């Protein structure tokens, strides 16, 4: 398909075919020179522009028309009243108007499309006529000034064959010529002979990885019918293959030419038609297995052939273009806030040269570089969050067509990037990336849409509640200005072995365990000695006014959770509490999901299988007390580190969590030397571990032995536990140190409750680095499906002589960075 334009109008008038306000200075709408045609916007006449000066070749098939109006308004509510095409000076019936407000700064609006004929049938002459054009009118709720700077039109068409013939000494002769050239199988040439035909096909250079190629061209026949005494039919076909032709199954070229010689050729003895065609596919033709040409030509001469000397026709081929079999393009959809609406606007752009038309929703071809995302998981013995970095999506702005974006608000809105084949239905496009927009940065000749990870929203405190110090004793649960004012309120998850809660009412001796509801208060200690469990209340007012038995405590746990003591503690107060008894709720996976839900996340924001897999790997309970000012990300880190897992967001902005393990025998792809473009080592590497100490079963109410009551001191094991913040488990394998002198020892922090869980987790993580691990970075010329199939934590098999794995090695993907523009995939493989 060819294009003409965009061409600007040479004439514009206010057309009273539509009743309304008259346009002033309508001629100013001819060119984009900031000279405006204006009208009061509350119902206008047509502003009709014509004289676009097109020269579409005769016989061309008109495929579509795009009209662009450059316009603005002095305020809101100005909208399209009518947007129509003009044919032969008459305004058409099809209306393309939209309901969005005109902007208050100059901007083009596009109507129609590459396959939109505006409800009309067209010839080249219709388009070339001075009376061809476009019309627009406005309407508004309030009286504003509507201003039009320019209008331009682009026409999409397919060239056809035109015959100009000068008949000398005869009337006319007619010949229909159809030529089909198909390359397939082995090299061979076949033909049926009729008429004069000379065809040369030269395959030069290389055509890389093409399944099929098709030729499109424009043909003009001119010449004269001259005297000739005899008729002959000669066929000569030459096919020359040069370059590299090895490895592709088929390469085909289809050529169809129609030459009509119409009329009556009286007094003609004979007639002949001559055709000369050369098709040269340029570029690389590596990987072609075989090629062949078969040619069939038929010529029919119509009319009376008597007493004339001769007839002949000459064919000249101007340009031959062989497009690729398919073209992959990217579509970007960017939401932002437009204060001129006011409201949310979606901006749409595409890569490629022609843009994309989704049923009249146009994507301008302005993408210079699609956005990228690099993600890497920690491969040390600890775990935690994924490191992520985004590359900006850049848009071409050489002519300043994106200047209106300067006034839009982008921060916090979303970018969606899709990939598919040009011309394919929108539903077939795959979402390749979703990300949060940071800002739109205007640079020389381009606009960079800069992105940020969703994890940035998690760098805020998880507990946002603090004490106001508003108690008027003996009333209140908010502390006083002298004790709790400004301090963070407690928040806990899981089973808390021992915490010291703050006193929120010193008169009533009420202590807050957590701002959330708890399933139970298991035990309360004063200096290590058990206090007596009293009454549990479901009414907060009844709880506050209750009487506590001697040496005991009462409970309110509906949320927030409180205890009330009979008297002020003699020594350190410590509480053992269970936020949930259901262990599926207080495992690492369970607490992670519940925190996300408290932030407003839903099942669409994570991958459910991740939580199921993590529970299957480690379902032990945790105890997490949120620290002062601790961020959401910090809490998620502590949870994941406890079980050797990592967390982050994937390319679709979904929360992901997985335990870091070695290959398990479930590869999603096999990578070979055929895919590898570059490779190299990665360092530093986690050294083997000969000893691991796991700190677990945390005590948040540490107190020395001297602080304990006599009763508690009489139990040495318990007294020793009160004196330490954690119960440490040591996993030691001296033989590893003996065999591998650089082996290390390390200490891990885990918030798991049971010491048996800590021991098992420490044993697993120490053994994870026993084998010889060789991280390697590879750059792949990847099949498109791998962009979605291979993700962080995926297992692959690397079979590569050049990388030193001729027999293959199973590895885990610990870094992924797709290059969407060049269809490459950068990976770091571990294992």
Per-residue pLDDT reduced to its tens digit, 716-753: 777 888 989 999 999 999 999 998 999 999 999 999 99
Greater confidence (684 vs 338) lies with 338
Per-residue pLDDT reduced to its tens digit, 430-476: 999 999 999 999 999 999 999 998 999 999 999 999 999 999 999 99
Is residue 664's pLDDT more than 60? Answer: yes
CB neighbour list of residue 266: distance below 8 Å, 6 or more residues apart: 170, 171, 303, 304, 306, 307, 308
| Average pLDDT of the residues of the chain | 82
Tell me which DSSP letter residue 606 carries: B
Is residue 639's pLDDT more than 50? Answer: yes
Quote the CA–CA distance of 157 and 198 in Å, as a whole number. Answer: 29
Query: pLDDT value at position 326?
Result: 59
Mean pLDDT confidence for 243-270: 36
Collapsing DSSP to helix, strand or coil, 766 comes out as helix
Query: pLDDT value at position 323?
Result: 46
Mean pLDDT confidence for 305-324: 39
Mean pLDDT confidence for 49-67: 93
Query: pLDDT value at position 773?
Result: 75
| Residue 645 pLDDT level (bands cut at 50, 70, 90) | very high
Where helices occur in 768-806 by DSSP H, the ranges are: 786-789
Query: pLDDT value at position 359?
Result: 92
Mean pLDDT confidence for 670-682: 92
Is residue 659's pLDDT more than 90? Answer: yes
Return the domain boundaries, the chain.
Answer: 2-158, 162-321, 328-452, 676-685+773-830, 689-767
Looking at 145-159, 200-214, 301-315, 408-422, which range is the least confident one? 200-214
Mean pLDDT confidence for 789-812: 93
CA distances from 482 to 105, 570, 799 (A): 58, 21, 69
Per-residue pLDDT reduced to its tens digit, 196-213: 443 433 333 333 222 233
Query: pLDDT value at position 128?
Result: 95
Place of tokens 């015959």: 163
Collapsing DSSP to helix, strand or coil, 106 comes out as coil
Is residue 176's pLDDT more than 60? Answer: no
DSSP lists the bridge partners of residue 417 as 332, 433
Domain 2-158 architecture: Sandwich (2.60)
Is residue 829's pLDDT more than 70? Answer: yes
Is residue 64's pLDDT more than 80? Answer: yes
| Residue 274 pLDDT level (bands cut at 50, 70, 90) | very low
Looking at 30-34, 73-77, 280-284, 384-388, which range is the least confident one? 280-284
Per-residue pLDDT reduced to its tens digit, 374-416: 999 988 878 899 999 999 999 999 889 999 999 999 999 999 9
Cα-based angle 479, 481, 483 (whole degrees, multiple of 5): 60
Query: pLDDT value at position 251?
Result: 34
Number of helices followed by number of strands (H, E) in the chain: 11, 52
Per-residue pLDDT reduced to its tens digit, 204-255: 333 322 223 333 333 333 333 333 333 333 333 333 333 333 333 333 333 4
Most confident residue range from 259-263, 563-567, 720-724: 563-567
Mean pLDDT confidence for 530-546: 97
Phi-psi region of 479 (alpha: psi -120 to 50; beta: other; left: phi over 0): left
pLDDT above 90 covers a percentage of the chain that reads 66
Looking at 85-89, 499-503, 688-692, 819-823, which range is the least confident one? 819-823
pLDDT above 70 covers a percentage of the chain that reads 80
Q: How many other β-carbons are positioned within 10 Å of the β-carbon of residue 216?
A: 16
Query: pLDDT value at position 186?
Result: 38
Query: pLDDT value at position 295?
Result: 38
CA distances from 229 to 175, 304, 312 (A): 18, 15, 12
Query: pLDDT value at position 171?
Result: 32
Query: pLDDT value at position 683?
Result: 76
Tell me which DSSP letter residue 603 carries: G
Query: pLDDT value at position 207?
Result: 31
Question: DSSP characters for 471-487?
Answer: -BTTB-SS--TTTTTTP
Mean pLDDT confidence for 28-55: 91
Query: pLDDT value at position 584?
Result: 93
């Amino acid at each position: 398909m060819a294009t003409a334009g965009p061409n600007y109008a040479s004439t514009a008038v206010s057309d009273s075919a539509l009743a309304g306000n008259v346009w002033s200075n309508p001629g100013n709408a001819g060119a984009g020179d900031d000279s405006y045609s204006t009208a009061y916007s509350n119902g206008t006449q047509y502003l009709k522009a014509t004289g676009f000066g097109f020269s579409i070749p005769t016989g061309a098939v008109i495929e579509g028309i795009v009209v662009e109006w450059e316009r603005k308004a002095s305020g809101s509510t100005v909208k399209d009243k009518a947007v129509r095409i003009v044919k032969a000076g008459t305004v058409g019936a099809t209306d393309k108007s939209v309901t969005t407000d005109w902007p208050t700064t100059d901007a083009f609006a596009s109507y129609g499309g590459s396959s939109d004929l505006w409800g009309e049938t067209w010839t080249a002459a219709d388009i070339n006529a001075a009376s061809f054009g476009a019309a627009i009118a406005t309407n508004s709720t309030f009286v504003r000034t509507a201003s039009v700077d320019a209008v331009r039109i682009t026409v999409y068409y397919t060239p056809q064959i035109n015959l100009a013939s000068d008949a000398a000494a005869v009337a006319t002769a007619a010949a229909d010529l159809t030529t089909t050239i198909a390359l397939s199988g082995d090299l061979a040439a076949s033909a049926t002979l009729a008429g004069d035909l000379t065809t040369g096909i030269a395959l030069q250079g290389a055509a890389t990885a093409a399944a099929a190629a098709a030729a499109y061209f424009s043909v003009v026949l001119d010449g004269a019918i001259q005297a000739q005494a005899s008729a002959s039919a000669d066929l000569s076909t030459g096919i020359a293959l040069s370059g590299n032709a090895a490895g592709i199954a088929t390469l085909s070229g289809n050529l169809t030419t129609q030459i009509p010689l119409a009329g009556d050729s009286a007094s003609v003895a004979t007639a002949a038609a001559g055709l000369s065609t050369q098709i040269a596919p340029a570029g690389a033709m590596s990987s072609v297995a075989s090629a062949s040409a078969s040619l069939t030509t038929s010529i029919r001469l119509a009319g009376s052939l008597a007493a004339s000397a001769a007839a002949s026709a000459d064919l000249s081929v101007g340009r031959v273009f062989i497009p690729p079999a398919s073209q992959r393009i990217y579509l970007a959809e960017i939401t932002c806030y437009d204060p001129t609406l006011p409201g949310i606007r979606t901006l749409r752009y595409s890569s490629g040269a022609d843009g994309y038309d989704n049923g009249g929703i146009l994507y301008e071809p302005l993408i210079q570089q699609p956005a990228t995302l690099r993600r890497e998981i920690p491969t040390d013995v600890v775990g935690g969050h994924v490191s992520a970095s985004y590359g900006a999506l850049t848009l071409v702005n050489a002519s300043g067509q994106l200047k209106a974006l300067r006034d839009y608000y982008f921060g916090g809105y979303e970018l969606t990037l899709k990939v598919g084949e040009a011309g394919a239905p929108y539903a077939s496009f795959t979402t390749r990336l979703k990300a949060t927009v940071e800002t739109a940065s205007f640079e020389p000749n381009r606009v960079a849409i800069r992105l940020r990870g969703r994890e940035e929203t998690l760098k805020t405190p998880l507990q946002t509640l603090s004490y106001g110090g508003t108690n008027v004793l003996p009333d209140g649960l908010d502390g006083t200005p002298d004790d709790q004012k400004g301090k963070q309120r407690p928040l806990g998850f899981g089973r808390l072995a021992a915490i010291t809660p703050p006193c929120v009412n010193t008169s009533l001796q009420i202590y807050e365990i957590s701002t959330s509801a708890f399933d139970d208060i298991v035990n309360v200690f004063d200096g290590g000695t058990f206090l007596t469990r009293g009454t549990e209340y479901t009414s907060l007012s009844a709880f506050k006014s209750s009487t506590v038995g001697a040496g005991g405590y009462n409970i309110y746990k509906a949320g927030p959770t409180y205890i009330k003591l009979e008297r002020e503690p003699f020594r350190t107060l410590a509480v053992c509490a269970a936020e949930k008894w259901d262990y599926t709720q207080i495992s690492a996976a369970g607490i992670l999901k519940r925190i996300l839900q408290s932030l407003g996340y839903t099942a669409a924001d994570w991958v459910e299988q991740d939580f199921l897999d993590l529970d299957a790997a480690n379902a032990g309970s945790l105890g997490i007390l949120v620290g002062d000012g601790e961020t959401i990300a910090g809490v998620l880190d502590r949870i994941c580190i406890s079980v050797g897992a990592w967390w982050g967001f994937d390319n679709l902005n979904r929360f992901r969590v997985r335990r870091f393990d070695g290959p398990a025998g479930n590869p999603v792809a096999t990578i070979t030397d055929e895919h590898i473009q570059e490779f190299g080592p990665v360092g530093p590497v986690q050294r083997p571990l000969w000893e691991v100490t796991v700190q677990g079963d945390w005590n948040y109410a540490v107190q020395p032995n001297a602080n304990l009551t006599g009763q508690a001191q009489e139990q040495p094991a318990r007294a020793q536990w009160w004196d330490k913040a954690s119960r440490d488990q040591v996993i030691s394998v001296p033989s590893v140190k003996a065999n591998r002198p650089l082996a290390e020892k390390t200490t891990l922090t885990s918030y798991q409750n049971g010491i048996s869980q800590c021991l098992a987790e420490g044993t697993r993580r120490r053994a994870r680095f026993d084998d010889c691990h060789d991280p390697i970075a590879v750059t792949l010329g990847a099949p498109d499906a791998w962009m979605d199939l291979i993700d962080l934590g995926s297992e692959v098999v690397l079979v590569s002589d050049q990388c030193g794995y001729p027999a293959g090695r199973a590895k885990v993907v610990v870094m992924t960075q797709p290059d969407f523009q060049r269809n490459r995939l950068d990976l770091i493989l571990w294992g």
